[in-house]
Structure 1
Amino acid sequence: MSSGGQEQPAAGGAEDPQPRRFVGQKSAADAASGQAGPVVVKGAAAPRRVVRNVIPPEILENDALNRAISVLPRNYNFEVHKTVWRIQQSNAKRVALQFPEGLLLYSNVIADIVETFTQAEHVFVMGDVTYGACCVDDFSAEALGADILVHYGHSCLVPVNVTSVPCVYIFVEIKMDVGHLVASIRHNFKPGTKILIAGTIQFSSSIQAARRELEQDYPSVAIPQCKPLSPGEILGCTSPVVAGGAEALIFVADGRFHLESFMIANPSIPAYRYDPYNRKMTSESYDQAGMRGARRGAIEAARLAGRWAVVLGTLGRQGNPRVMETVTAALERAGKEYVEVLLSEVTPDKLRAFGDAFGAYVQIACPRLSIDWGEGFAAPTLTPYEALVALGEVPEWWGDDAPKDEATGLPQYPMDYYSREGGSWSSSYIRAADRPARRRPQAPPAQGCACAAGGESRAAPCR
């Protein structure tokens, strides 16, 4: 489990050992067959038409540039031609490069390429830890005087029309053996089984290819989507809620962190993880009742607190000031005393340094810090959603009238932190007016991008 309950990608998205809620895993067995029918996923809409920039031949066919690119792994798509073209277009002199830890070993090669094949005079490699797309550090890039920021390994969670400096997102898609994934699914699931396929952003193209190959044997195969994320993309804090009787989710990733988000949001759908590196498929479990019980206990304990601390995460864009304003306004309406705190990383040790100054904390950074590590904090440490429940602003999820999972009867715990349709606690930078706390199922998702920054297709990363 990674520090703070947040995933640290390694070599293209590798994750740390299984988090605390891990129950067990076993080889995938034959799943029950079912009649083909629609699997309905919330948050779907038709794709937008796009116009893409065309990289000129003098860049694509540059022999020296292509030789430099050949040093990088063949199966990792760093989109160097696009990066060079964008930097040339912007006439940037100072370029900041931001990588997750697992890709930092390639940073020197890419920095050398940028210096050699663009007009850039200074190239910075930003060394602070990067857990996910929420950590895009445009503020630090701006402080360094960067003219452009290139962020690697994550999707455009923070749109390019929001960042303080021009930003280019490079997903770093990884080629994998799609044929083996398809064969593994056919071996373990009978034809007609209602299956879903999802994964991390690095494998989005492979997921689309697998769906096309599986459609004949599994007519209802679907790729879930929670906008503004790409089809099939799941974050550790954001997952679609699927209706329509899906019988299995096949999740393509080398770790569990993102998958657990889907399992929390959809407790009745059996989950299987396909690891593209060791080419194994495993059945995954999650302690649903234990998690919900622990979070309910933290909420009820926080209600007794007289003085609260509202902690805004300052690691990249993790902390959203708008969410902080929502929480502090609720505290004022409830007559609670509070103090605002800024922290780069929220850990039990850092909060323990405050002693007994606060009876409860609200951390506006990563919801999984509370969900995964909540019992390790000395005082109740809530997510923004949980804080609004504790303060009576949002109905309790365990109430008699609260929505329940249709198959298990478990109360629905929302994993919609960056969902465009999330509640008032949502940190999405792409959202309409605040929506109800619960959403209705919509039509199955179409393929394409949900990014508001120009409406481009996620078949190619946002420009």
Structure 2
Amino acid sequence: MTDAFSSSSEAVLQRTVNVSTITTTSHAGNLAQLYQIAETCHFITSNQFKKVALQFPDELLPDAVRVSAEIENETKAKTFILGDTSYGSCCVDEVAAEHVRADCIVHYGTSCLSPCRRLPLLYVFGKRPIDVQQCAAAFKELYLDPQSHVIVLYDVTYSHAIGDLRTLLCDIYPNVVVSLLKTDHSCGAELIQDSYVDDNHTDSQDDIVIFKFGRHFSVKAGQSVDNYSMFYIGQEGLTLTNFMMTWNHCAFSSFNPETHTGRVESVKINKALMKRYYAIERAKDASVVGILVGTLGVANYLTIIEQLKDIIHKAGKKSYMFAMGKINVPKLANFLEIDVYVLVACPENSLLDSSEFYRPVVTPFEMELACNKHREWTGEYVTDFRDLLPGGSSHVGFPEPDQSAFEEETTDVSLITGALRTCSTASSEIINGTSESTSLVPRNQTLTVANTNTAASFLAGRSWQGLEPKLGQTPVVKAVGGRRGIAIAYEEEGVGNASTHL
């Protein structure tokens, strides 16, 4: 799960891009159909856009020039190809589009369908090949009972075949629910829906409607999502992991269109949840938190950052914010004073496996569990940070500080270090908004009165604190010749020692 954010620069230069089946087939003359150029041109001309940003993932870049030329010939609009996104390719790169002052964005390929706010947007998923008959056969092998309650989820690139699949299944399985792709139209986003029209299967007024991760489906009245099994169409990856973590009480199975095989997902989600719970314990122990900005396009990302700053401050911790594009191990290793990082990104890229990092990387939901004593661990998992905001489905308010709480500070034991830690959110710094405490801290072998600062204290305890200028303490000399050679064996080394031995 670290590919989206942790690939090194050397690996990017040396890797080879595997051209997908979409690209291979497009050279046979199906370019206009696969990339839905007619529908894209209608979107551009009907809205009178003059500058259009075309965002392609790496595997589709070989077709980018041809698609761009076709659109320019049909619409007379100026197109710009966005090839290298600042973060995950599933997210819309609105910042890069604004650099060229684009009027709209056309996003190609796999998408997390996270809402955006700045520019009008059109999703073109493409049409990855899938054998619908084999998919239906795999479904029947996995679910032998015709009365099985199953929700069908799928990667967006297979949406074009879902209508045919539903035709094959729904007569045999009356309790099968096929999800629909749906965007947040308030954000100005559109997608080309050519899979099927849901005329014969209208939802009852009593049905419970679920809209999550760009998927729309309904469950029968009196039922919940936990009573259904999930059938996913697509390859193993971030999308499937996100679904399994969110609906972790549901049994999952999948069909891989590339290998034409179906299987029951054997990933032990409870084990994955325990790994995430370990990260929460690390966040509880942390005193300095780094907020990693992992998106600049998902709506309300600034709001969640401010909310994280607030709850971290109220929990008596320090926070620093980092905006560094695609993160990797060497980048984060530069900040040893940080105890834990919290990543603000889209739902699919939030679940970063930080096992190879020097410090754990948690999600905003996990950070709230560590800081907000009113939020309890129930097994529910939230990957979409927008659900944590006020008005969201999983929002839990932070307890207000109370002067009377000073005498009721509680402590618990860290499950990692075994040490006691204070679980109090009431302090003079939080209530008054300023820090009035001073303390004696060692500095240069002397005792001076200074305000305590976590990062400064960490620097004071390091054996090497950087170069000291010592202005006025060293004489001014003319430039002299330095050493020659390499660090392991300078040319002048050993000359004096050899004459001494002689």
- TM-score, normalization by structure 1: 0.66
SS in 1 for 2:342: strand
Give the deviation of 1:130 after TM superposition. Answer: 7.7
Q: Is the 8 A contact 2:291 2:341 kept in 1?
A: yes
Q: Is the 8 A contact 1:153 1:170 kept in 2?
A: yes
CA distance in 1, matches of 2:258, 2:244: 22
* More displaced stretch, 343-352 vs 261-270: 261-270
Give the deviation of 1:207 after TM superposition. Answer: 2.5
Q: Which residue of 2 aligns with 1:3?
A: 3
1:207 paired residue among 150, 155, 162: 162
SS in 1 for 2:239: helix
Cα gap change, 1:12 to 1:200, in 2 (>3 Å) = farther
Residue 119 (str. 1) matches residue 84 (str. 2): no
CA distance in 1, matches of 2:374, 2:65: 48
Cα gap change, 1:322 to 1:256, in 2 (>3 Å) = same
Q: Which residue of 1 aligns with 2:153?
A: 198
Aligned residue type for 2:167:
R
Give the deviation of 1:330 after TM superposition. Answer: 0.9
1:250 paired residue among 231, 244, 250: 231
2:381 paired residue among 409, 413, 430: 413
Cα gap change, 1:210 to 1:132, in 2 (>3 Å) = farther
Gaps of 5+ in 1: 15-67, 403-410, 425-431, 439-463
Cα gap change, 1:106 to 1:284, in 2 (>3 Å) = same
Q: Which residue of 1 aligns with 2:321?
A: 340
Q: Which residue of 2 aligns with 1:95?
A: 52
- TM-score, normalization by structure 2: 0.62
Q: Which residue of 2 aligns with 1:423?
A: 388
Which residues of 2 match residues 13-28 of structure 1 at below 5 A? none
Q: Which residue of 2 aligns with 1:392?
A: 372
The Cα offsets for residues 280-317 of structure 1, whole Å up to 9 and x where unpaired, read as: 11222223232222222222222222222111124644
Q: Which residue of 2 aligns with 1:52?
A: none
Residue 185 (str. 1) matches residue 143 (str. 2): no
- Structure with higher Rg: it is 2
Q: Which residue of 2 aligns with 1:280?
A: 261
CA distance in 1, matches of 2:210, 2:301: 25
SS in 1 for 2:159: helix
CA distance in 2, matches of 1:202, 1:341: 33
2:42 paired residue among 75, 85, 89: 85
Give the deviation of 1:369 after TM superposition. Answer: 5.5
CA distance in 2, matches of 1:338, 1:386: 15
CA distance in 2, matches of 1:396, 1:326: 18
Q: Which residue of 2 aligns with 1:259?
A: 240
1:107 paired residue among 56, 64, 70: 64
Q: Which residue of 2 aligns with 1:223?
A: 178
Q: Which residue of 2 aligns with 1:149?
A: 105
SS in 2 for 1:379: coil
Q: Is the 8 A contact 1:318 1:364 kept in 2?
A: no
Q: Is the 8 A contact 1:4 1:373 kept in 2?
A: no
Cα gap change, 1:367 to 1:199, in 2 (>3 Å) = closer
CA distance in 2, matches of 1:364, 1:393: 21
Give the deviation of 1:126 after TM superposition. Answer: 0.8
Q: Which residue of 1 aligns with 2:29?
A: 71
Q: Which residue of 2 aligns with 1:376?
A: 356
Cα gap change, 1:368 to 1:346, in 2 (>3 Å) = farther
Q: Is the 8 A contact 2:94 2:296 kept in 1?
A: no
SS in 2 for 1:346: coil
CA distance in 1, matches of 2:181, 2:66: 35
Cα gap change, 1:256 to 1:211, in 2 (>3 Å) = same
Larger RCO (CA within 8 A; separation ≥ 6)? 1
Report percent identity of matched pairs. 26
Aligned residue type for 2:287:
G
Aligned residue type for 2:268:
D
2:121 paired residue among 167, 172, 178: 167
Aligned residue type for 1:423:
L
The Cα offsets for residues 244-279 of structure 1, whole Å up to 9 and x where unpaired, read as: 665642211023321222222333433222112232
SS in 2 for 1:261: helix
* More displaced stretch, 322-331 vs 292-301: 292-301
Q: Is the 8 A contact 2:6 2:329 kept in 1?
A: no
* More displaced stretch, 247-256 vs 198-207: 247-256
SS in 2 for 1:350: helix
Give the deviation of 1:221 after TM superposition. Answer: 0.8
Residue 324 (str. 1) matches residue 282 (str. 2): no
Give the deviation of 1:324 after TM superposition. Answer: 0.3
CA distance in 2, matches of 1:320, 1:115: 33
State the number of aligned residues.
Answer: 358
Q: Which residue of 2 aligns with 1:58?
A: none
The Cα offsets for residues 101-145 of structure 1, whole Å up to 9 and x where unpaired, read as: 22212111101112222222x422111148767621122211112
RMSD: 3.9
Q: Is the 8 A contact 1:236 1:260 kept in 2?
A: no
SS in 1 for 2:248: coil
SS in 2 for 1:286: coil
CA distance in 2, matches of 1:71, 1:232: 39
Aligned residue type for 1:153:
G
Cα gap change, 1:132 to 1:4, in 2 (>3 Å) = closer
Q: Which residue of 2 aligns with 1:33?
A: none
Q: Which residue of 1 aligns with 2:460?
A: none
The Cα offsets for residues 74-120 of structure 1, whole Å up to 9 and x where unpaired, read as: 8x632211222232334443322101222212111101112222222
Q: Is the 8 A contact 2:129 2:257 kept in 1?
A: no
Q: Is the 8 A contact 2:295 2:344 kept in 1?
A: no
Pick the structure with more helix per residue: 2
CA distance in 1, matches of 2:331, 2:37: 39
Which residues of 2 match residues 9-48 of structure 1 at below 5 A? none
SS in 2 for 1:386: helix
Q: Which residue of 2 aligns with 1:449?
A: none
Q: Is the 8 A contact 1:5 1:373 kept in 2?
A: no
SS in 2 for 1:277: coil
CA distance in 2, matches of 1:392, 1:226: 34
SS in 2 for 1:169: strand
Aligned residue type for 2:343:
Q
